[in-house]
Structure 1
Amino acid sequence: MAKTQRLDIVTPEKVVFSEEVDYVVAPGSEGELGFLPEHTPLVSALKTGVLRLTQDGKTIKVAISGGFVEVKNSRVVVLADTAERADQIDVARAEEAKRRAEQRLAQKSENIDIARAEAALKRAINRISAAQK
């Protein structure tokens, strides 16, 4: 059995992570998905949430917003709409985005795109959650 597996986290803009890891837990559309090396091939949709990976006994968090995961041949590929490592999240900026989204939702105006404001709020809360220890 392989001891590690390759994890690639990619967004339309950049490669966020591309290294060997021990374990991956991703926010699947129907619940959390865990992957060890030599996992059975799988493709699944992802939802906004915190992806956790274990590398050399250390846990690293990545805030992702939607996308897909493919697992095959001890390789996990995450194609995410957005992804940001927890250690790179600007918490003050995320808090401000959360505040703005909450204000938009509280207005209850016809000019507000509710679905967009709710998605922005969910992303901001997710980023804050990922950044917490």
Structure 2
Amino acid sequence: MSDPALTFRVDVVSAHESIYSGEARFVVLPGESGELGIYPRHTPLITRVRPGAVRIEKPDGAEEFVFIAGGILEVQPNRVTVLSDTAIRGKDLDEQKAEEARRAAEEALRNAKSEIDIARAQSELAVAVAEMAAVRRYLRRK
């Protein structure tokens, strides 16, 4: 069993399921203004997070890797919760699927007629590019 002073609870939840739930020594994820690193007893915080990779260092030193398409982060001294519409376990990331999503978003951006269509396509492109980067980071770690 891990020392509670050195670990905290982490939950990464998508709109459809719990992606990760367990203890961690450290979590890194993409904040709005840059990368956030969270250790046990972190100051409470609620903020939005950008699309990208969540890296969870478990008490045994192993890492869990999750891609999120943006969302909300809540930090309490002994618990971190990441809520995202879309979250994908690192082992489930598919480079070909991410590349197809990027191409589709670029095509949608080229064909966008209204400001809303442009904004939607730009958002989809940002998520697809972040997913591609997450896939590459995950594959390098293996």
Q: TM-score with structure 2 length normalisation?
A: 0.83
Letter of the structure 1 residue corresponding to residue 38 of structure 2: F
**Runs (5+) with no aligned partner, structure 2:** none
1:50 CA drift (Å): 1.6
Instruction: Provide the residue aligned with 1:86 in structure 2.
Output: 90
Instruction: Provide the residue aligned with 2:9 in structure 1.
Output: 6
Aligned counterparts of 2:133 and 2:90: Cα–Cα separation in 1: 9
Residue by residue over 1:67-122, the C-alpha shift from the partner in whole angstroms, topping out at 9 and shown as x without a partner, is 21111131101111211122111211111111111122233x42681111111111
1:96 aligns with 2:100: yes
1:50 aligns with 2:53: yes
Mean CA deviation greater in 13-22 or 41-50: 41-50
Superposition RMSD in Å:
1.8
1:29 aligns with 2:36: no
Aligned residues between the structures: 132
SS state at 2:85 partner:
strand
4+ aligned runs moved over 6 Å, structure 1? none
Letter of the structure 1 residue corresponding to residue 45 of structure 2: L
Q: TM-score with structure 1 length normalisation?
A: 0.88
Q: Percent identity?
A: 42
Residue by residue over 1:52-75, the C-alpha shift from the partner in whole angstroms, topping out at 9 and shown as x without a partner, is 221232333221122211111311
Aligned counterparts of 1:12 and 1:105: Cα–Cα separation in 2: 26
Letter of the structure 2 residue corresponding to residue 27 of structure 1: P
SS state at 1:46 partner:
strand
Letter of the structure 2 residue corresponding to residue 36 of structure 1: Y
Instruction: Provide the residue aligned with 1:125 in structure 2.
Output: 129
Aligned counterparts of 1:8 and 1:25: Cα–Cα separation in 2: 13
SS state at 1:6 partner:
strand
Structure with a larger share of its residues in helix:
2
**Of 19, 33, 44, the match for 1:16:** 19
**Runs (5+) with no aligned partner, structure 1:** none
Aligned counterparts of 1:14 and 1:42: Cα–Cα separation in 2: 23
